[in-house]
Amino acid sequence: MSWIDYSQNVRIRDLEESLGSAYSQMTQDRKRMRSELSHLKGDLGQRLDRVSATLDAFIELSDLRVTLSLFDGMAITRHRTLQMLDGAFLGELRLDDVPGYWLVPAARGLHHLLNGDLPRARARFAEAAEIDRERALGFTALATALTSSENAHLLGSGAATELLPHLPLPEVRPTRVQRALWLLSADGSFGDDAREHLLLSTLRHWSAEDARVATVEAWSATAPSTSGGRGRTPSKDPFAVRSRTAKALGRLREQVSHVTGPNGEDEPDRVLAPDQASVDFLKETLRLLVEEGGPEEAPLLAEARALRATIENGGEKVEPPHWNEGTDDVANLIQRDLTSTDTPLRRRTFALVVQRTTVLEDAERLAADLNTPLPETTTVSTQGVDVTIDAAGADQGQIERVRGLISERHTAGGDARSMVWVTLGIAAVLGLLALFTMNGFLWFLTLVSLGGSVLAHHSSTKGRGEGEAAIAEARRRTDERIAGAVEEWRRRRLQAEEETDAAQRDLREIRRMLSV
């Protein structure tokens, strides 16, 4: 093959490799473009679906507005009611009678209440209750608490007692109105009689149903003390476990004391307005109740609110809130009322009384955990020996054994002393030979042997002194280690006894505060 043919073949192979690489790259780019195009088609399809849903909702809402225009009397009633609830002063309230619509007499009752005419307000609220008792009573209780707190116990307590005779069972989710009445009753907005009635009726109902509330973990949980750095498992050392348990009982006593202290039931005869944290929830619940509409109008208004929510959320369907929708379950709400520092103290006291049995059981359980016997002895390892320590101190026999081991390990060996006797013997033999032969070289060797004996004796003496010093130092360190372990053991035992005594005092105090 000529050089020209070889060069052409090389170029052809290079071109084939380049074409193969380019084809592979084109295949990968084609797959990537198809994936991106598919993704874009999916996003575009979702966007088109949302736009379509939004347009459909807008068209349906426009048609509904035409239908809702037939209920102008109800709409005006709702508008005037919301104005009064927002604080607007209406000198004269003119509303057309709408048969079967409870809000018309309720709005007139609210107008009389805001103008100080309590008898007429009571009569109008009663008229509304004859049309729709549940809604009218809920409106009366919430509206009076929010707009005329000084009269809430006169007009709202009866409504609250009828709508919420007792709290539901712990696993049940109360409605928004029930939760609102619960908050107002627990805070004392309806007076002490309504508060006490709800509390006692709940305790009786739960007792009859054998209902129980879960442990208050935020109060009774033991702090996870770890044996090392971050991420370690909690220490299982019995003294550490007892210390954590005693501290948990102390924290539980502090929490109970804070709730039941002098400020927990401050001014018991005073009717309190809702706290600011609850006002938003109460206003929202009352607004949803008012905006529900009349019997014929309510389904249309609910559909309109759903369509409006769809439009506001870009075509995504969202379930709008309702005045009678469920909230969280009772057990979680009670624990939230009890443990949150932002909760009014009267509501926390109410929650504590409801959970009194559970809190006391938590305290008794922690106190029972403290009765677990502690180990009577411990050991400290030194020089390869485990020395037992008890209340009387360290085991003396084991200490003597440790000291014997130290002496054996640090006693100077016999090589230096043997060398002294060997060199002395050699010197004696050489001396006798030199004396008989009078050979100068033998005399020289004799002197060298005597010098070696002196050096060996010096080395032996020095080694013995260093060994004794090492033994003394090792014994001193061992004694200090054992003495420190004995002191630490006694300190931990004493601390455990003190913590147990403090825990018993905490338990007695918790029992006293919970009136057991």
3-state helix, strand, coil in the chain (%, to 5): 70, 5, 25
Classify 132 as helix, strand or coil.
coil
**180 and 281 Cβ atoms separated by less than 8 Å:** yes
pLDDT reading at 418 higher than 70: no
pLDDT reading at 516 higher than 50: no
pLDDT reading at 412 higher than 60: no
Q: Which of 37-51, 59-73, 251-265 has the weakest average pLDDT?
A: 37-51
pLDDT reading at 177 higher than 50: yes
Alpha-carbon torsion angle 175, 177, 180, 186, nearest 10:
-80
162 or 50, higher pLDDT: 162
Q: Which of 20-24, 31-35, 371-375, 432-436 has the weakest average pLDDT?
A: 432-436
What are 291-296's contacts with CB under 8 Å, separation 24+?
291/78, 291/82, 292/135, 292/322, 292/323, 293/71, 293/74, 293/78, 294/71, 294/74, 294/98, 294/100, 294/101, 294/103, 295/100, 295/101, 296/71
Instruction: Find how far residue 326's CA is from the centre of its chain.
Output: 25
Q: Which residues contact 360 (CB under 8 A, 6 or more apart)?
A: 510, 511, 514, 516
pLDDT of the residue at 16: 65
**H, E, C per residue of 264-328:** CCCCCCCCCCCCHHHHHHHHHHHHHHHCCCCCCCHHHHHHHHHHHHHHHCCCCCCCCCCCCCECC
- Amino acid 469 reads A
Helix (H) or strand (E) holding 253: helix 238-260
Beta 378-382 vs 393-394: how paired, if at all? unpaired
Average pLDDT, the chain: 77
Distance CA(398)–CA(300), nearest Å, equals 91
Q: Which of 297-301, 411-415, 430-434 has the weakest average pLDDT?
A: 411-415
Mean pLDDT of 30-57: 60
**245 and 503 Cβ atoms separated by less than 8 Å:** yes
pLDDT reading at 501 higher than 70: yes
Distance CA(235)–CA(243), nearest Å, equals 11
Q: Which of 173-187, 286-300, 369-383 has the weakest average pLDDT?
A: 369-383
- Which tokens is 213 given? 């509330």
Residues listed for the chain: 516
Q: Which residues contact 499 (CB under 8 A, 6 or more apart)?
A: 242, 243, 246, 247, 370
**416 and 452 Cβ atoms separated by less than 8 Å:** no
The residues pairing with 394 across neighbouring beta strands, listed in sequence order, are 389
Q: Which residues contact 240 (CB under 8 A, 6 or more apart)?
A: 225, 227
**83 and 90 Cβ atoms separated by less than 8 Å:** yes
pTM of the full structure: 0.69
